[in-house]
Amino acid sequence: MRGAGRIVHPRFDLRWLYGSPLLVAACIAGLAATAVLARAMQALHVAGRLRTEIEIAAARLGAEAAASTYVASDGKDRQYGFDLGRGIAVDVRAEPGADSSVHLSASVNGHRLHYSFSVLAGGTPRVFGQPFTVVSGGPSLPDEWPRRPALALAELPELALDHAQLVQDSMLSLRLKRDPGIALLRLAAGTDREDFVFGSDSAEPLRLLPPASGVLVIDGNLWIDEVPRPFEVELYDDLTLVVRGNVYLGRPVRVRGPGHLTIATLCAGGVAFADRDGNGRWSEGDALRSGERFRGPVEGAGSVWFGMPREPGTALELDLGLFVAGELHVAADSAAVHGPVVLVHGVTRLPGREGNVEFTGLRLPELQRAALPGFVTVGGPRPGLLRRVPDPKQPLYAAAPNR
């Protein structure tokens, strides 16, 4: 028989399993090596991701530097390079766009990121960085109100209405419309000026689309009427409403989004007065806030009312800023204002109302890299805040292949 006397040596000896630690050790070493390699791969993956984030951060810093250099050079320098070492080099190209906007394209190691900013003539007046400011020399404020450094009359921010849009009759996009009946409904004698109502009864937030200038002028009184639910708006750009009359705020105003809503009043041919009896019109016992005699519309001008004069006291929470050229009348039991409040004259609390007002400063506008619409800017030209934008040359939808 062929091969009958041969001794077969198996390659794997079963005795190794229990007679030697080598195989067990090899298995353990293999498992350990697998675990170590898996963790190393994960760490390498994280490092790669972080590297991308670092490159994006470098692109943003490069774009910020490029924006400042662009404005400082008056738009002459348009290409910038930053060699940051470690294989990171940022190239930024600036292209002026429509109006005063500038598009920045930053490329770093194969990534291309796009930003835009506006060239601003200056910044927002500093007074809007304070929760509450009152002009010095005016009537004294209630004792329990916060003490704030007073502002000289000459330092008051000026309104710039060159590009402002005048509201003629109504603006459906803003739910702003003329309403001849609102004053007769809320005040015993009505008003002499036109009346405009701002707001919607819908429970859904109203998306406000401000005009390009960001400023709307309302030639009359502005009402945000008393309704059981708050007036909620979505605002992504700043909007300033300049009111040539009084403002009546009857319900809370909530603003969603990064935009700032500011209401500024002007006396505009009227005379500001403190309506001590709260009848909504000039009458005996009221106090004039200027040296001249009373003239103009009976409801006065430039005043802001927290709460409606003839309605029971309510609680208001206002996500807006106020520039009050006349008197601030508090007909609400309590009010919290989150934007900046600038008060030219005094405060009158209506009898029978608690009239507690809190200035939280939770929603103050950006001062240095943004210009609040409708107000004269301060300081020199500067870049506005940088915004990341999608690639303008990339189509929204991929082109379909021909069939």
Partner 1 sequence: MIRYGPSAERAAVAGLLLLCGACCLLIAWSTVRLEQANERRRAQLRLLDDLTACSLQLREGPIPSLDGLFDVSIGVVRSDSGSRLTFCGGSAGAVR
Binding site for partner 1 (CB under 8 A): 13, 15-16, 19-20, 22, 25-26, 29, 32-33, 36-37, 39-40, 43-44, 46-47, 50, 53-54, 57-58, 60-62, 64-65, 68-69, 73, 77, 79-86, 88, 91, 123, 366-369, 379-380, 382-383
In the chain, what is the straight-line distance between the N-terminal and C-terminal CA atoms, in Å? 74
How many Å apart are CA 365 and CA 342, to the nearest integer? 13
| Cβ-based nearer residue to partner 1, 48 or 181 | 48
| Cβ-based nearer residue to partner 1, 61 or 298 | 61
Beta bridge partners of 389: 114
Q: Is 260 exposed, middle or buried (0-12, 13-18, 19+ CB in 10 A)?
A: buried
- Least distance from C-beta 257 to partner 1, angstroms? 17
| Cβ-based nearer residue to partner 1, 245 or 373 | 373
Rg of the chain over all Cα atoms, to the nearest angstrom? 33
Nearest 10 degrees: Cα torsion 277, 279, 282, 288: 40
| Cβ-based nearer residue to partner 1, 83 or 354 | 83
Which helix or strand (DSSP H or E) is residue 347 part of?
strand 347-349
Q: Are strands 132-134 and 341-343 parallel, antiparallel or unpaired?
A: parallel
* DSSP structure class, residue 7: P
Q: Which of 240, 222, 224, 223 is nearest to 232 (CA)?
A: 224
- Least distance from C-beta 43 to partner 1, angstroms? 4
- Least distance from C-beta 38 to partner 1, angstroms? 10
Specify whether the backbone of 138 is left (phi greater than 0), alpha (psi in -120 to 50) or beta. Answer: beta
Q: Which residues contact 20 (CB under 8 A, 6 or more apart)?
A: none
Q: Is 56 exposed, middle or buried (0-12, 13-18, 19+ CB in 10 A)?
A: middle
- Least distance from C-beta 85 to partner 1, angstroms? 2
- Least distance from C-beta 79 to partner 1, angstroms? 4
> Residue 135 in contact with residue 150, Cβ under 8 Å?
yes
Q: Tokens 């020199």 map to which residue?
A: 380
- Least distance from C-beta 364 to partner 1, angstroms? 12
- Type of residue found at 307: G
| Cβ-based nearer residue to partner 1, 50 or 227 | 50
Neighbours of 362 (CB within 10 A): 11
| Cβ-based nearer residue to partner 1, 51 or 254 | 51
Sheet holding 341-343, edge to edge: 132-134, 341-343, 321-324, 261-265, 239-243, 215-218, 165-167
How many Å apart are CA 120 and CA 195, to the nearest integer? 34
- Least distance from C-beta 151 to partner 1, angstroms? 21
- Least distance from C-beta 258 to partner 1, angstroms? 12
| Cβ-based nearer residue to partner 1, 40 or 209 | 40
- Least distance from C-beta 33 to partner 1, angstroms? 5
- Least distance from C-beta 122 to partner 1, angstroms? 9
How many Å apart are CA 202 and CA 205, to the nearest integer? 7
How many Å apart are CA 51 and CA 277, to the nearest integer? 68
| Cβ-based nearer residue to partner 1, 65 or 156 | 65
| Cβ-based nearer residue to partner 1, 349 or 382 | 382
| Cβ-based nearer residue to partner 1, 112 or 207 | 112
| Cβ-based nearer residue to partner 1, 60 or 114 | 60
- Least distance from C-beta 72 to partner 1, angstroms? 8
